[in-house]
Structure 1
């Protein structure tokens, strides 16, 4: 088995997810067909009912419209079940209003295919994948279990990838790309 990384096709998947707190509409299947032809960001956390994870999930949710403005689907995932996700959303004030699905990889098959399954506990690392409309992984970031990620950096990299141009270190949306600089120098 090869590990999913930059330049590789994102693995095929179909998983249950929590999409709502409304009775009878809590669950939905989410899969490869749902992200086909779209920019997508899938971020993983180790465990529900923990401490660092809800800070990240809440921050992604606060930035939901920033992803939406970039025509990018936002998906969260862990190896916990959809029932644990639902209970956590009901229990944690910062998670009740989530606008993106919480995918349940209970078989751990997707986390394993992505190469982000922690060895001893078999939980997912804090991993983030940016996937282009062709289903190719364009960026991967993996943090250790104890360190939260930076959502602003995910957006910065997404912006750079969506320009389809050469972007220098620390480039931010609206700044001149290297491709634009070179074109100006030639003109």
Structure 2
């Protein structure tokens, strides 16, 4: 699995970017690792669409999207489902209809494989989160078991801490003092 200090692998994937498109094919867009050049990326993966834990996490990222945007960060979510499955799920699942960030389709498992986050038995993405700085360097990685949802507030707190470029103590929150090396 890629870790802190590694470069985000190059990717080019289809994504669901809008549900209000005049035709279904206009709901999709090709996005790459360069689509948001110069921004922080919060890239998170979930195991499967139309499941139980996944929509709770995705909706939580959606609710905090403006908080991430205020920090010059772009959220990108993905699984190994197709863009058509993503679109159908968003249309079917109330809390995902107005999702403000793209859902990437890693159907060939290229990104998940490059990141090293495929579950060995199930062949689906683990619940992984990567925070990538504007230079494309991974600065944070967290991975959860298939049955446990992540804490999106903690992802935001971690982004805040990374953006200080200073020493942040345990449980540090934005606006608090950072540590000074003696």
Place the TM-score, normalised by the shorter chain, in its bin.
over 0.9
Superposed counterparts of 1:40-79, under 5 Å: 40-79=41-80
Taking the aligned partners of 1:151 and 1:92, their CA distance within structure 2 comes to 20
Per the alignment, residue 122 of structure 2 pairs with: 121
Q: What are the ranges of 5 or more consecutive residues in structure 1 without an aligned counterpart?
A: none
Alignment of 1:137-152 (within 5 A): 137-152=138-153
Pairing 1:1-187 to 2, within 5 Å after superposition: 3-21=1-19, 22-24=21-23, 25-179=26-180, 182=181
Contact 1:130 1:158 in 2 (8 A): yes
Structure 1's consecutive aligned runs of 4 or more residues displaced over 4 angstroms after TM superposition are: none
**Gapped runs of 5+ residues in structure 2?**
none
Aligned with 1:139: secondary structure?
strand
Q: Measure how far apart 1:37 and its partner are.
A: 1.6
Taking the aligned partners of 2:127 and 2:2, their CA distance within structure 1 comes to 15
| TM-score (norm: length of structure 2) | 0.96
Aligned length: 179
Contact 1:4 1:11 in 2 (8 A): no
Query: What do you get for the CA RMSD once the two structures are aligned?
Result: 1.0
**Structure ID, larger Rg:** 1
Measured in 1, the distance between the counterparts of 2:31 and 2:53 equals: 25
Taking the aligned partners of 1:17 and 1:120, their CA distance within structure 2 comes to 26
